[in-house]
Amino acid sequence: MKRAEQLRLLEGLHTVETVAETLRITPQAALNLLGKLKKEQQVTVSGGGRRKRLYKITLRKQLPRVPGMFDIINKYSPNFQVNPWYDHQVHGKYGPEEALIDVLQTESFRLILASMHLFNHITDWPKLYQLAQKKDCWQKVGALYDVARMFMKVRKMPEKYRECVKMRWLTLTQLTKKNFPEISKIWKVYIPFNPNDVRQAL
Amino acid sequence: MITHKDQLELFQLISSQLDQNVECYVFGGTAMMFYGYKGETKDIDLLFQNISAREAFMDALRKLGYSESSPLTIYIPEKLKDKHAPIMLKRDESRFDLFTDKIFQTLLSQKMKNDLFAVHEFKTKHTLTMKVLRTEFIVMLKSVTERNKDFEDILTIVKKDKNFAWDYFIDEVLWQTAQGDGWVLLDVEKMMKELKKYVFIEEKWFKKLYGKDKK
């Protein structure tokens, strides 16, 4: 049987036994085949030890990834995960500061909600401020920070960054709701989510 | 020929030579490598939204020893007369085909911009952002470019992509035709007829394609 045909039959999640059964071969032959497919980057393995080994088999190569915006969000927001709608990868230096700015550009309600956990991992405030200034979104960062600190543990933002020129009203998403009116007024930012939404993201 | 690893290293190197941030759309063999459909490629097809971005990218390539080459033997002469024909830069075995605004007559639609498969950012001093198009768009654009091996690539995609959305694909072809693209419909029809010899394509997709013709 040709490799392409084998892959088409096997595409999905398997154990050694199901591979052997699908291709009608012995478990040892299945193991050998999985080893070859792993070398060809068509298989990734999970489990092992006490847990059963699971083989994810795909028709296309499973290339190694470098983390992007969604990976960072999901890493720091364990209870409120986001399903990526495209594969974002950044080759180069990329941390919570860069991810937060990228999130704000998406204007996605769920993503921005999940990104509030990043404030506990911001270590380089000058860098965040500089990145935000470039994208003209420091007001949004400030508003999001103030909402986040009401509900979760966050790292302290230096006071000097509170003083910035707030010329016009900005929106985080397309919604122009005035939740958290005090924070909204201070930063001149429409905050789309209410306290219940934030509690869900904790 | 360059491999996936080579291309990542090459893009990182290009980003280090850039004088400004550059954003482009990836749709040829390079895109297929990002998908994992192909192990290596000769040509790197990129689409820029404006000439200044392409110029900045070309400057970076020139710094790395790439020089302009003729597209005459690669593309059909009739298509090369189009003002949106690509500029080609070559060095050794690798070649960049650089388009701006359009791929011949085919527009970069809003759907193409919004519905991406992946975004790869190469960060050094400046950032090179490469947006990888969906397979449906890659197939459509490969039908339009009609180079050697383009059909082989289309066949690979359609065979390997179980979720290939014919409906979505034909909608885009018809939209491009409505926008004044005089080639895409004919090129796609020709490609689908050839493709039918190798894979099963439902008759309704041909009907949908012809339906627009009758109008």
pLDDT average per 10 residues of sequence, chain A (202 residues): 84 94 94 93 89 92 92 92 94 94 92 93 93 90 92 88 78 82 87 86 78
Q: Are residues A50 and A99 in the same domain?
A: no
Does the structure show a pLDDT above 90 at B145? no
B105 within 8 A of B182, measured Cβ to Cβ: yes
A74 lies in some domain:
yes
C-beta atoms surrounding A49 within 10 Å: 6
CA–CA distance, A94 with A67 (Å, rounded to integer): 8
Q: Are residues A42 and A138 in the same domain?
A: no
Q: Which residues of B touch A90 (CB under 8 A)?
A: 120-121, 123
Report how many domains make up chain A.
Answer: 2
| A200 CB-near residues (< 8 Å, 6+ apart) | A80, A113
Statement to judge: residues A89 and A48 lie in one domain:
no
Query: Does residue A46 lie within any of the structural domains?
Result: yes
> Counting Cβ atoms within 10 Å, is residue B87 exposed (0-12), middle (13-18) or buried (19+)?
middle
Same domain, A136 and A196: yes
Least CB-CB distance to A59: which of B119, B122, B160?
A: B160
Residue B206 forms part of a structural domain: no
| Contact B4/A at CB under 8 A | yes
Q: What is the pLDDT of residue B77?
A: 77
> What range does the domain containing B91 cover?
2-159
Q: Do A86 and B124 touch (CB under 8 A)?
A: no
Q: Is the CB of residue A187 less than 8 Å from the CB of residue A132?
A: no
Taking an 8 Å cut-off on Cβ atoms, the answer to whether A91 and B11 are in contact is yes
Predicted local distance difference test score (pLDDT) of residue B72: 75
Partners of B39 on chain A (C-beta within 8 Å) are 61
Does the pLDDT value for residue B178 go beyond 60? yes
Same domain, A103 and A23: no
- Residue appearing with tokens 């960049």: B96
- DSSP of B35-50, one letter per residue? HTS-SEESEEEEEESS
Nearest residue of chain A to residue B121 (CA atoms): A90
Q: How far apart are CA A6 and CA B120, in angstroms?
A: 31
Beta carbons of B186 and B113 less than 8 angstroms apart:
no
In whole angstroms, what is the distance from residue B134 CA to residue B115 CA?
7
Partner-chain residue, chosen from B15, B35, B120, that has the shortest CB–CB distance to A60: B35
- What confidence score (pLDDT) does residue B212 get? 54
How far B70 CA sits from the closest chain A CA (Å)?
Answer: 32
Let me know if residue B178 belongs to a domain: no
Residues A10-56 pLDDT 10s: 999 999 999 999 999 999 999 999 999 999 899 999 988 888 999 99
The residue segments making up the domain with residue A26 are: 3-57
Residue listed under structure tokens 């394609």: B209
- B128: closest CA among B36, B61, B205, B180? B61
Which residues of chain A does B123 touch, with a Cβ-Cβ cutoff of 8 Å?
90-94
CATH of the domain at A25: 1.10.10.10
Mutate to test the interface with B, among A65, A89, A107 (most CBs of B within 10 A): A89
Which residues, in sequence order, are CB contacts of A128 under 8 Å at separation 6+?
A97, A100, A101, A122, A141
Q: Nearest residue of B to residue A58 by CA position?
A: B160
